[in-house]
Amino acid sequence: MKIDILSLFPSYFDSPFEESIIKRAQEKGHVTINQVNIRDFATDKHHRVDDRPYGGGPGMVLMADPIVRAIRHCRREGSCVIYLSPKGETLTSKKCGELKTLDHLILLCGHYEGVDERAIELEIDCEISIGDYVLTSGQAAAIVVVDAVVRLLPGVLGCEESAVDDSFVNGLLEPPVYTRPSFFEGNEVPRVLISGDHKKIAKWRVEESLKTTRAKRPDLYQNYLKNREFIPIPLQELGLWHSQNPNS
């Protein structure tokens, strides 16, 4: 996969993409991440990329021309151009799964009061939001998208099951996790996890996942009940089918 990130501040990404999993993914050739400075596509001598909004109002608006030029410079057949915007669809695990199948992503990071609508109409394939709040610019959102998508690429994680078992992948939150020591400040690891009985462990994890989701994210829990194809383990086999009753 190749990812081009269009922004006014390419150096913003230097540290996040030079650490941990994203760094290793680049070193292993699973992904190429390229930063593109929108100012390089300005046509005046001052490299101006913004101007006051028509109709008045506060702040500045990113001009259509340099953005369109930058996108067209990067775009190729099969590219998906994404504008990071609070107006977009909310980023979900399902959406990340769709994006991981693409060969080329172009992420446009807005700034100031937004982007001239004509650039969006001409070049943007979809808009994505990472939540119902406003950021100073789209750079932080781009980092979230890159991290969430790249970790799903085959070979990126050391254990493929890590991505499959993550919260939201199956429509539920993860169950609690534990490691050594088995006893810490009066708290003991649930005995089932050290029993060696894999069926009981699987049943416990599903039970805890359902319990956690119902308590902390009732919206996800209700959606899970409506979309049974998300069920990660046949609940009939584990004796948990009754847990799908919203009133149970």
Instruction: Give, for all 248 residues of the chain, the pLDDT tens digit.
Output: 999 999 999 999 999 999 999 999 999 999 999 999 999 999 999 999 999 999 999 999 999 999 999 999 999 999 999 999 999 999 999 999 999 999 999 999 999 899 999 999 999 999 999 999 989 999 999 999 999 999 999 999 976 555 555 545 577 889 999 999 999 999 999 999 999 999 999 999 989 998 999 999 999 888 888 876 545 544 545 555 544 444 44
pTM of the model: 0.83
Q: Kindly report the backbone phi and psi dihedral angles of residue 32, in degrees, each rounded to the nearest multiple of 5, phi listed first.
A: -115, 125
Chain mean position to CA 58:
31
Give the C-alpha separation, 188 to 175, whole Å. 16
Q: CB of 80 within 8 A of CB of 106? A: yes
Active-site positions?
86, 113, 151, 166
Name all contacts of 137-141 with Cβ < 8 Å and 24+ positions apart: 137/7, 137/8, 137/9, 137/109, 137/110, 137/111, 138/7, 138/83, 138/84, 138/85, 138/107, 138/108, 138/109, 138/110, 138/111, 139/7, 139/9, 139/12, 139/13, 139/109, 141/84, 141/109
